[in-house]
């Protein structure tokens, strides 16, 4: 069984990205175990923490080290990814020579009411992670344009998003298994 951790880049409990993460978890193949790695308690990283790396940051890095792959489910704020996602990535790269990013198998998904979903934020993340040694899944993309009909009050989602989530998590599971 492949173990995939996921982080949700929005702290709102009713966020569409938390809802998308639930759909991805529900659509995951049986050979994949998905576990949420909470980033809400991470303090804002500062290089002065390197000398005495806080326990909460060490525990977060340990959780990521315990999974075979990491999925970032992130909103898009002002055509970019949000600060909690950048902070989590920064924490994973620190302290120097003790980062968790080299060799990490990573996928990116997200939902936004914007016309292009989260494609701008995803493309920005894709620019800076490969030089840090991250193995990014290229395709398929999962950037959901969330309308009023995408996520329903009862926790269900439209058929297209369900299908896309299923295709995405199947591909990501295969990516993690094969790299």
Mean pLDDT value across the chain = 95
Pairing status of strand 69-73 against strand 2-8: parallel
The confidence score (pLDDT) of residue 118 equals 95
Cα dihedral 146, 177, 57, 80 sign: negative
Question: Structural domain boundaries of the chain?
Answer: 2-178
pLDDT tens-digit series, residues 142-167: 999 999 999 998 888 999 999 999 99
Token pair recorded at residue 100: 């968790």
Given this model, what pLDDT does residue 115 score?
A: 87
- Which tens digit of pLDDT belongs to each residue from 5-24? 999 999 998 999 999 999 99
Name the H helices within 37-158.
55-65, 83-92, 119-128
pLDDT digits (tens, 9 = 90+) for 26-56: 999 999 999 999 999 999 999 999 999 999 9
pLDDT at 97: 85
d(C-alpha 69, C-alpha 164), whole Å: 19
- Two tokens at 4? 């995939």
**Which CATH superfamily does the domain covering 2-178 fall into?**
Flavodoxin domain (3.40.50.360)
């Amino acid at each position: 069984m492949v173990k995939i951790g996921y982080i949700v880049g929005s702290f709102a409990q009713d966020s569409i990205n938390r809802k998308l993460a639930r759909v991805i978890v529900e659509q995951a193949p049986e050979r994949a175990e998905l576990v949420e790695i909470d980033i809400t308690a991470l303090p804002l990283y500062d290089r002065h923490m390197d000398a005495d790396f806080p326990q909460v940051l060490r525990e977060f890095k340990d959780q990521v080290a315990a999974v075979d792959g990491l999925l970032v489910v992130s909103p898009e704020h002002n055509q970019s990814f949000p600060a909690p996602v950048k902070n989590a990535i920064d924490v994973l790269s620190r302290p120097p020579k003790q980062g968790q990013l080299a060799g990490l198998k990573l996928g990116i998904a997200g939902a936004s009411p914007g016309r292009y979903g989260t494609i701008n934020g995803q493309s920005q993340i894709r620019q800076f992670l490969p030089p840090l040694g991250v193995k990014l899944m290229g395709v398929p993309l999962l950037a959901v344009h969330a309308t009023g009909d995408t996520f329903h009050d009862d926790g269900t989602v439209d058929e297209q998003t369900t299908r896309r989530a299923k295709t995405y998590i199947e591909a990501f599971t295969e990516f993690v298994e094969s790299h």
